[in-house]
Chain A
């Protein structure tokens, strides 16, 4: 299964995690996550995924984007990631991921987003 195919299961993974949805109850934002060359558009409302679309969308706006290479996500989602691949900022520091856009909603709920983006790790 490709990293993008793994990330496509995010709605089910978040549905199954009541604690993460509880912690994200203040999060309402549209954002974009790129898994390799595959964009995903996430519409979060009160910590739940009200919208989740895979693939390019013309003129779709989003508050911020998190991008990572296929290798970055594959390593990040290992059951126990290797040093330097285990955290979103470890990935950006080594140059295999990046973040851009309005950082405020991301940093206001940073642990929620880190945990959200790590959810596919559970499907090993």
Chain B
């Protein structure tokens, strides 16, 4: 019997981010005859590119798009840079932006679409602010210029609390109750697998360094279309947060997704599909 294979293929790419050597893992799937509009997908804080596996297995998407999802440095199968053991991981607006642009350059992607979720959504807003001309379109999932914190990140990395379990337990409430249980728990499993302090380090960008209030007003959607989609059950980035952000950006298209929370692509792939296909249909 022939093996049953998922369509995506995983590889490692060597590249420099801010002058530092990295070995980055990514998966991709696209049209059978090659080509396709590059669509780079950014995972949430403390997780990895597997969150997009359903999108990469959807022929209606991959018939027209070359979907690529890379694991951020320190995440998933991307190893941290040499000497990591002597540093405390902290993601910043600058380092995150540099990683995305380095990946797109290394893969020689021609004006890719970038879609990111949560911290990935926030950095997509920064790409729209600072580098719009490099991209064909930008899609921000669960994104806002700023969100009110709802817990103390100090609990995410300490020896007397299991990091993976507490990360998963905290974010479990961001998943909508209507999604399939298997998808809920697959989403949480990725959080349980994160390296020590990595989720906390990502949230440094989210909470401290990545405040985009005022800056989003400078986004020019004529230079690059911007789409914002947020799940109604996301109480971290609420619908109100996204609507407030979109209201400051002329031309931004905003959608509030029913029966979805903070992880639309992995917590409820079938529902997310209903919302993302009409967005992708507008991109050429």
A positions within 8 Å CB-CB of B: 80-81, 83-84, 86-90, 92-94, 103-104, 107-108, 110-111, 114
Instruction: Decide if B160 is an interface residue (CB 8 Å cutoff).
Output: yes
Instruction: Decide if B84 is an interface residue (CB 8 Å cutoff).
Output: no
Contact residues in A for B160 (Cβ distance below 8 Å): 104, 108
Interface size on B, residues (CB 8 A): 23
Contact residues in B for A84 (Cβ distance below 8 Å): 235, 238
B positions within 8 Å CB-CB of A: 148, 150-151, 155, 160-162, 165-166, 168-170, 172-174, 176-178, 232-233, 235, 238-239
Q: Are A86 and B173 in contact (CB under 8 A)?
A: yes
Contact residues in A for B172 (Cβ distance below 8 Å): 87, 111, 114
Q: Which of A87, A107, A108 contacts B173 (CB 8 A)?
A: A87
Q: Which of A83, A89, A107 contacts B166 (CB 8 A)?
A: A107
Q: Are B166 and A110 in contact (CB under 8 A)?
A: yes
Main secondary structure of the interface of A (DSSP, over half): helix
Q: How far is the CA of A81 from the CA of B238 in the complex (A)?
A: 16
Contact residues in B for A111 (Cβ distance below 8 Å): 165, 168-169, 172
Q: Are B235 and A90 in contact (CB under 8 A)?
A: yes
B146 to nearest A CB, angstroms? 15
Q: How far is the CA of A108 from the CA of B233 in the complex (A)?
A: 25
Contact residues in A for B169 (Cβ distance below 8 Å): 107, 110-111, 114
9 contacts between A and B (CB under 8 A): A80-B177, A83-B233, A83-B235, A86-B176, A87-B172, A87-B173, A87-B174, A93-B150, A108-B162
- With most chain B CB atoms within 10 A of its CB, the pick from A88, A93, A94, A104 is A93
Contact residues in B for A110 (Cβ distance below 8 Å): 165-166, 169-170
With A86-B177, A87-B174: A92-B150 Cβ-Cβ less than 8 Å: yes
Q: Smallest CB-CB separation from A108: which chain B residue? A: B161
Q: How far is the CA of A83 from the CA of B173 in the complex (A)?
A: 10
Q: How far is the CA of A108 from the CA of B156 in the complex (A)?
A: 11
Contact residues in B for A103 (Cβ distance below 8 Å): 155
- With most chain B CB atoms within 10 A of its CB, the pick from A93, A107, A111 is A107
Q: Smallest CB-CB separation from B231: which chain A residue? A: A83
Q: Are B235 and A93 in contact (CB under 8 A)?
A: yes
Q: How far is the CA of A110 from the CA of B177 in the complex (A)?
A: 18
Q: Which of A80, A89, A108, A114 contacts B235 (CB 8 A)?
A: A89
With A80-B177, A107-B161, A114-B173: A89-B151 Cβ-Cβ less than 8 Å: yes
A44 to nearest B CB, angstroms? 16
Q: Smallest CB-CB separation from B172: which chain A residue? A: A111
Contact residues in A for B151 (Cβ distance below 8 Å): 89
Q: Smallest CB-CB separation from B188: which chain A residue? A: A111
Contact residues in A for B162 (Cβ distance below 8 Å): 108
Q: How far is the CA of A25 from the CA of B160 in the complex (A)?
A: 17
**Contacts A88-B173, A89-B235, A104-B160 supplied; 7 other A-B pairs, CB < 8 Å:** A80-B178, A86-B176, A87-B173, A89-B173, A92-B150, A93-B148, A110-B166
